[in-house]
Structure 1
Amino acid sequence: MSKRKKAKAPLSGNEIARLIDQSLLKPHAKEADIIKLCNGAIKYNFYSVCVNPYYVPLCNALLKGHETKVTAVIGFPLGMTLKDVKVYEAKQAVLYGADELDIVMNIGAAKSGNWDYVAGEILEIISATGSAVHKVIIETCYLTEEEKIAATKITSLFGAEFIKTSTGFGSKGATIKDVKLMKKILGNRAEIKAAGGIKTLTQALNFIKAGATRIGTSEGVEIMKELKIS
């Protein structure tokens, strides 16, 4: 049996780690799992941990004094709750210690062509939580190419610092094609977070090469182990 070739990394181990949002978003995640998540993030110096809002206070306490930030998901994973609920959820997440917010766009509104609603919702959430970094999840697997272009343009124009490809709960995760398309649209106006199905160092490096500046993954520790960083 041939051995798996080790991917060559153009970045240092720490540089790669600082592009990773280490995620644990499963509904059955226990406190012990979150503690393990944060310990791994501290060990490898990941940029952030990405969790459901319920676990924001715990992560905030565990990561105090460390560089790793806390990211909370909002309207996750469907994006279809009411705007006022999303705004409240976002404000509470920041109140309890979230540094960054991964906000699921209202996918149904986007598919219906109701872009005014999509834009208004994003603007209202960002206005209510100005101290946070905002990443809007457009869930590319459900969008046509025209809708991907519109979603990327609109969410960035209304103040999102990042556009994120996927929740990881949809029918498909990030693709290189989508990241390249988003990068072409955005230029330097906003950054891209690739997420969904990224499990290896090679995948992560390919998405970074395509234009992503943040990688959302539940396999950050395994990716670092591929670099022989233990």
Structure 2
Amino acid sequence: MSLSNDRWITLVYAKVAEVLADTSLVVPTSEFSSIAAPTDPTFALAIDHTLLKPDATAVQIDLLCDQAIRYKFKSCCVNGANVEHVSRRLQASGVLTCAVIGFPLGAGTSAAKAFEAKDAVQNGAHEIDMVVNIGALKAGNYELVFSDIQAVVSAAGTPVKVILETVFLTDEEKIAASFIAAEAGAAFVKTCTGFSGGGATAADVLLMRKSVAYKPYVKVKASAGIRSFEKCVEMFVSGAERIGTSSGTAIMESAEAVAGSY
């Protein structure tokens, strides 16, 4: 789809007005919203087990993989340099390899992001988490935001989650970014990188879920600052169907400790 920026502005304004006019608290049903405990096998399938620190070592990456395999998390989410290693470690485990693209700033060129995504997939990534061009979004250059996401979606050929970095955005910009990502073929819209302060909120998740509800196959991933099962539940109830966290193991170990206590 090739649209002028003026046309995108018209479409975005219409979507913003539609979503902001919806004052209901009704959230589309999620298979995760009824999870009552982290011991529910479904819970682990919502977790992207994450290690994105710049000083992460091979030993720490191996531990991440071992933990993900033990608890049967959905994926391990890592930087591009670690994708091939993680893919080999997770082979035949059922745990997916997820790579971040344009991380954490989102300010690279579309060509660079597309190349990075293609390279990650060739190295074994099953899913891609890319950072939106935040500056273009805030400037109202929606044509560029769309083409940037679409370039990564086309290059990846695998599910792409678009990180909005909600801590920088107004509600109107969150709606705009979610809508454009959905139109560009994203599988998920995601809250934050965790590198810019703040974190996921229930209000943002609900707003993003309402913004993409017209496309049932587009989901919401809540990420950044999620360190407890209770916080995960809050995100699920608000419409999230994936959680990005580096605290997945701590949550599971806490549940095991409680189950083993008397």
Q: Report how far residue 167 of structure 1 moved.
A: 0.4
2:152 partner amino acid = I
Partner of 1:181: 207
Aligned pair 1:46/2:95, yes or no? no
Partner of 2:116: 89
Q: Report how far residue 223 of structure 1 moved.
A: 1.1
Q: Report how far residue 124 of structure 1 moved.
A: 1.3
**Greater Rg over alpha carbons, structure:** 2
- Work out the CA distance in 2 between the residues paired with 1:185 and 1:121: 19
Aligned pair 1:99/2:118, yes or no? no
- The correspondence of residues 133-144 of structure 1 with structure 2, limited to 5 A, is 133-144=159-170
Preserved CA contact (<8 Å) 2:35 2:42: no
Preserved CA contact (<8 Å) 1:42 1:68: yes
- Work out the CA distance in 1 between the residues paired with 2:45 and 2:203: 24
Any unmatched runs of 5+ in structure 1?
1-7
- Work out the CA distance in 2 between the residues paired with 1:169 and 1:82: 20
Q: Once the two structures are superposed, what CA deviation does each residue of 1:119-175 show, in whole Å capped at 9, x if it has no partner?
A: 001111111221x11000011010111101100101011100000000011121100
Partner of 1:18: 45
Moved more, 66-75 or 176-185: 176-185
- Work out the CA distance in 1 between the residues paired with 2:110 and 2:180: 17
Bigger RCO of structures 1 and 2 (CA < 8 A, at least 6 apart): 2
Q: Once the two structures are superposed, what CA deviation does each residue of 1:84-131 show, in whole Å capped at 9, x if it has no partner?
A: 11111000000000000000000011111111000001111111221x
2:47 partner amino acid = I
> Percentage identity across aligned positions?
43
Preserved CA contact (<8 Å) 1:201 1:226: no
Give the structure-2-normalised TM-score.
0.82
Q: Report how far residue 9 of structure 1 moved.
A: 4.7
Aligned residue-pair number: 222
Aligned pair 1:79/2:103, yes or no? no
Preserved CA contact (<8 Å) 2:166 2:174: yes
Describe the SS at the equivalent of 1:194. strand
- The correspondence of residues 180-199 of structure 1 with structure 2, limited to 5 A, is 180-187=206-213, 188-199=216-227
Any unmatched runs of 5+ in structure 2?
1-33
Describe the SS at the equivalent of 2:98. strand
Preserved CA contact (<8 Å) 1:13 1:227: no
- Work out the CA distance in 2 between the residues paired with 1:125 and 1:181: 24
RMSD: 1.4
Give the structure-1-normalised TM-score.
0.93
Preserved CA contact (<8 Å) 1:76 1:103: yes
Partner of 1:217: 245
